Structure 1
Amino acid sequence: MGATMTEAPDAFLLSIFQKSGISLGSVAEAWERSEHLYPLLGWLTASFPAPSAFDICAEWLRRCAERIDGGAPVAALFARARDEGPRQAHVVAGALGDVRNQSILDGKPAVAAFADGASDLCEVWAAVTTNEADAETEAWARAKSASAAMVTALLAQRGQDAQAKAAARVELTGLLRLARATVASR
């Protein structure tokens, strides 16, 4: 389901919605009206290495961390990836994987899922920025994985079951939309 090398993120995003029977006329309309976290996050990761795309991800993770007990260090670690540089961002992604593993051992499933999602995003940014993207770091696929992890994190934090999944996805999409607007207004 990855975008082809010749297909722009905008065209691919709109085609995902069209294939699902949702007709949107522009990417701006998709960002304004969509309640679907995955395609929007996919568009964002496919927009790497644009600095604004990283800023939006960092801002989104910061906002998400406010809803997940113990999540602030995860968001801070992701944000540090840019300061460390793209080559070291792979190390940061590994450190996020370590946070995930430790959180599992500590019985903190929300933080574990949050770190997993942040690690996916960090790996994509590092790979795209260093021109080392491959099948494992394909932006759209990793964004889909990160979206699922983030919904799981929010549900685990709240102790809610799968029926709350749609509401969590809508809430996370709203946070992503807010993060995008915040970065655009800077």
Structure 2
Amino acid sequence: MSDSETPSARLLDIFQANDLSFDSAEAAWAHAEHLFPLLGWVVAHFPDPLAFQTCARWLSLCAARLEDARPAAELFAQARSSVHPRQAHIVAGGLGDLRNQWILQKKPAAAAFADSASDLAETWAAITTGEADGETEAWARAKAATRAMVTAWVIHQGQDSEDPAQRRQAQVALVGFLRDARAESGLKET
């Protein structure tokens, strides 16, 4: 995304490139069933605290429905703390450790959830400390976070994580939670 391109313009461009037209970002938020561009829009608003709050709330809403996911959501919420100058980086590392722990304990849904939270935390950390690079580009990391969260949701439902129909259903449910989180935080285009 260029410095002059707004998150809403990028959102609409992504939908347009996929033959989905919306007149505005608000129309996309009201009608889209695709998690990635909407989550990308939120992450592209980092370092806005309302964007962080939206992600934290979204993770919390999802974690309430996914076994063993709550620790990752609670850890992500600590990334905005000022306890340590590199708190967000510490949290991102902790989420990676949690993901690895869940992998070793054969809890793939919780591991995928922690992976999603880690993508968001790493982006927050990089942007808030001025260390953003190609590895932490907001839209790319939001896309990775989306894939991981959809995988977590489908696996938790006991379904094949590669089944396209199951992934579409998961996206619809997760978009609903993201809309709720955005409404609660009050994040708007500025």
TM tier, smaller: over 0.9
Structure 2 runs not aligned, ≥5 long: none
Q: What is the aligned partner in structure 2 of residue 12 from structure 1?
A: 10
1:55-70 paired onto structure 2 within 5 Å: 55-70=53-68
Question: Structure 2: which amino acid aligns with 1:179?
Answer: A
RMSD of aligned C-alpha atoms?
A: 1.3
Please report how far the alpha carbon of residue 86 of structure 1 lies from its aligned counterpart in structure 2 after TM superposition: 6.5
Task: Give the alignment's TM-score, normalised by structure 1.
Answer: 0.95
1:31-42 paired onto structure 2 within 5 Å: 31-42=29-40
Structure 1 runs not aligned, ≥5 long: none
1:45-64 paired onto structure 2 within 5 Å: 45-64=43-62
Instruction: State the percentage of identical aligned residues.
Output: 57
**Structure 1 residues 136 and 86 mapped into 2: Cα distance closer, same or farther (>3 Å)?**
farther
Q: What is the aligned partner in structure 2 of residue 79 from structure 1?
A: 77
1:142-181 paired onto structure 2 within 5 Å: 142-161=141-160, 162=163, 163-181=165-183
Q: What is the aligned partner in structure 1 of residue 134 from structure 2?
A: 135
Q: What is the aligned partner in structure 1 of residue 90 from structure 2?
A: 91
Please report how far the alpha carbon of residue 91 of structure 1 lies from its aligned counterpart in structure 2 after TM superposition: 1.1
Q: Is the 8 A contact 1:86 1:129 kept in 2?
A: no
> More displaced, 84-93 or 10-19?
84-93
Please report how far the alpha carbon of residue 37 of structure 1 lies from its aligned counterpart in structure 2 after TM superposition: 0.1
Q: How many residues align?
A: 183
Q: Is the 8 A contact 1:86 1:125 kept in 2?
A: no
What SS does the corresponding residue of 1:149 show, helix, strand or coil? helix
Q: Choose between structure 1 and 2: higher helix proportion.
A: 1
Q: Is the 8 A contact 1:86 1:126 kept in 2?
A: no
Task: Give the alignment's TM-score, normalised by structure 2.
Answer: 0.93
Segments of 4+ moved more than 6 angstroms: none
Please report how far the alpha carbon of residue 140 of structure 1 lies from its aligned counterpart in structure 2 after TM superposition: 0.3
Question: Structure 2: which amino acid aligns with 1:135?
Answer: G
What SS does the corresponding residue of 1:23 show, helix, strand or coil? coil
Question: For residues 66 and 157 of structure 1, what CA distance do their matches in structure 2 show?
Answer: 12
